[in-house]
Amino acid sequence: MTDSLTVRDNRTGQEYDVPILDGTIKAADVGKIRTAEGEPGLAVYDPGFVNTASCRSAVTFIDGDKGILEYRGYPIEQLAEKSNFLEVAYLLVHGTLPTQAEHEAWVHEITYHTFVHENVKTFMQGFRYDAHPMGMLMASVGALSTFYPDARNISDADNRHMQIVRMIAKMPTLGAWAYRHAQGKPYVYPDNDLSYTANFLSMLFKMSESKFEADPRLVKALDVLFILHADHEQNCSTNAVRSVGSSQVDPYSAVSAGVGALFGPLHGGANEAVLRMLRRIGSKENIPAFIEGVKNGNEKLMGFGHRVYKNFDPRATIIKKACEDVFEVTGVNPLLAIAQELEKIALEDEYFIKRKLYPNVDFYSGLIYEAFQFPPEMFTVLFAIGRTPGWLAQWVELVQDKEQKIARPKQIYTGDRTLDFVPASERWA
């Protein structure tokens, strides 16, 4: 057996041997196939990169058919049950689990970089009263690049580490302040006596009490949600971070692009869309009519379907369990009954079975977030905080990868050619 592909170009009758490596062929090798010297080489057309590998990565492994998700080789189920978000962040960024000393140093560093420059607060206050918190987060993360111009020195490992620590540390502060802004409440400074996730909840919900300590079950559930969202290989937002990062811009600008990509309803914005959908359905009786609408192509069942998972999304299974833990503290969200019934009906329906559509991570996460009393606009902010270590781990990989180049896809040009320009004075005469 030879690891190559023999391709016969029927336009010219010429045959080519294209090497196969790691289950892929190089697009550059395909580009060598041409009808004549000087003619453009053959290219692959792949809108949405459905079958194109853009990098080598050792961060996250997914087997969509088997429903497997591993960070650096560790199954997501074990990490969600036995680890914590900052340890997982360390694992993603550094590639190995920390020793005790490394863990302590990491937690210390992250904890002591949670504060942001006072000017960040001032410009956040300048947003309109009804600004979407994701817009505020995207802008404020990008703005951090102006506070840390040294971040442009991306070839220096110590410098990269500094920015990574800063970003993981400050994302909850920015996210919480975006929330407080919409509420018209004063921004709360970080409480560095608390854990990463407990401090985030304090910055969100603290009022006049001298210390805010959330129920540990809620802290744990949110920490698990952060772990579940921490990375997911080459998804839309990670691809955005890598694509923008490939220009060698600073990591704040690259991550800000990731936040923008995550904002969209087909990506991180889906959990917000799920909640709105459940509210619109309103009661179980309306589900059959809604499902008919989906099958007729009038709308989508949000929180269902995934580009990669075609069997089940392992994160959805863990979230269902976290749902129960949270509802034990907060009481059951009445939308849960609609979600469960919707899931039951959809999983038995030929339309969804045939297309391998299953609940994804966003189907239940919105219900948990609502139980925390987050407005839907905040859901994607929570996703962004969780995803930050993943974006940064992938960014570091990109920066160190000698095979990477500036991202610059090809196109198939479909427009006019060589038109003669007629000045406006003649065209409008």
Taking residues 319 to 358 in sequence order and writing x for each that binds ligand ACO by CB under 6 A, - otherwise, the string is ------------------------------------x-x-
Q: Of the ranges 37-45, 301-309, 337-345, 367-375, which one interacts with ligand ACO (CB under 6 A)? A: 301-309
CB 216 within 8 A of CB 206: no
Binding to ligand ACO by residue 303, rule CB under 6 A? Answer: yes
Number of residues that bind ligand ACO (CB under 6 A): 18
Single out the residue of 270, 323, 335, 385 in contact with ligand ACO (rule: CB under 6 A).
270
Residue in the block written with tokens 């580490």: 161
Write down the least CB distance from residue 364 to ligand ACO, Å. Answer: 12
Taking residues 307 to 326 in sequence order and writing x for each that binds ligand ACO by CB under 6 A, - otherwise, the string is x-------------------
What are residue 243's phi and psi, to 5 degrees? -65, -50
Residue in the block written with tokens 């992250």: 110
Binding to ligand ACO by residue 300, rule CB under 6 A? Answer: yes
Distance of alpha carbon 361 from alpha carbon 321, whole angstroms: 12
Binding to ligand ACO by residue 272, rule CB under 6 A? Answer: no
Distance of alpha carbon 88 from alpha carbon 96, whole angstroms: 9
> Active site includes 306?
yes
AA identity, residue 97:
L
Binding to ligand ACO by residue 305, rule CB under 6 A? Answer: yes
Residue in the block written with tokens 């904002």: 263
Give the count of beta carbons closer than 10 Å to the beta carbon of residue 131. 16
Write down the least CB distance from residue 298 to ligand ACO, Å. Answer: 10
Looking only at residues 279 through 298 of this chain, which bind ligand ACO when binding is defined by CB under 6 A?
294
State the catalytic residue, choosing from 161, 362, 401, 420.
Answer: 362
What are residue 372's phi and psi, to 5 degrees? -75, -5
Binding to ligand ACO by residue 361, rule CB under 6 A? Answer: yes
Distance of alpha carbon 403 from alpha carbon 213, whole angstroms: 47
CB 130 within 8 A of CB 74: no
| Residue among 198 and 294 whose Cβ is closer to ligand ACO | 294
Write down the least CB distance from residue 261 to ligand ACO, Å. Answer: 10
Class of residue 330 by CB neighbours under 10 A (exposed 0-12, middle 13-18, buried 19+): middle
| Alpha-carbon torsion (75, 80, 82, 84), positive or negative | positive
The dihedral formed by the CA atoms of 265, 267, 269 and 274, expressed in degrees to the nearest 10: 80
Q: Of the ranges 22-30, 187-195, 263-271, 394-402, which one interacts with ligand ACO (CB under 6 A)? A: 263-271
State the catalytic residue, choosing from 29, 191, 306, 313.
Answer: 306
Say how many CA atoms lie within 13 Å of 415 toward its Cβ.
4
Using CB positions, name the residue nearest to ligand ACO: 305
Single out the residue of 362, 370, 377, 397 in contact with ligand ACO (rule: CB under 6 A).
362
Residue in the block written with tokens 């998804």: 235
Report the interface residues with ligand ACO, using CB under 6 A. 266-268, 270, 294, 300-307, 355, 357, 360-362
Enzyme catalytic residues: 306, 362
